[in-house]
């Protein structure tokens, strides 16, 4: 799996999950996230925060002051 996106160890990675997960589902999600950040066997300094599923909008401002909005629902 894996991704071309670079994840920073300096910034926490927020993970939105359903509130009714079993232990097995939680372990499977954690394993998938570790593969996604490129370290399938350990956390290697990454900080993950898990929270209940929400609708999210991410706003970013580029160096040229251009604003972009991404809806993740």
pLDDT, mean of residues 64-69: 86
Q: What is the pLDDT of residues 9-47, one digit of tens each?
A: 888 888 888 888 899 998 999 889 888 888 777 777 888
- Count of the separate structural domains present in the chain: 1
Kindly state whether residue 46 falls inside one of the protein's structural domains: yes
CB atoms within 10 A of CB 34: 17
Q: Is the pLDDT of residue 4 over 60?
A: no
**The two structure tokens encoding residue 71:** 């809806």
Q: Give me the helices (H) in the chain, please.
A: 23-36
* pTM for the predicted model, two decimal places: 0.59
Kindly state whether residue 59 falls inside one of the protein's structural domains: yes
Place of tokens 């490129």: 38
Kindly state whether residue 7 falls inside one of the protein's structural domains: no
Q: Is the pLDDT of residue 8 over 80?
A: no
Report the pLDDT value the prediction gives residue 24, as an integer from 0 to 100. Answer: 94
Kindly state whether residue 3 falls inside one of the protein's structural domains: no
Range of the domain at 68: 13-72
């Amino acid at each position: 799996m894996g991704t071309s996106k670079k994840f920073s160890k300096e910034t926490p990675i927020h993970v939105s999950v359903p509130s009714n997960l079993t232990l097995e589902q939680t372990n499977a999600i954690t394993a998938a996230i570790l593969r996604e950040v490129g370290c399938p066997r350990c956390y290697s300094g990454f900080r993950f925060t898990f929270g209940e599923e929400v609708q999210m909008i991410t706003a970013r401002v580029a160096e040229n002051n251009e604003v972009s909005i991404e809806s993740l629902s």
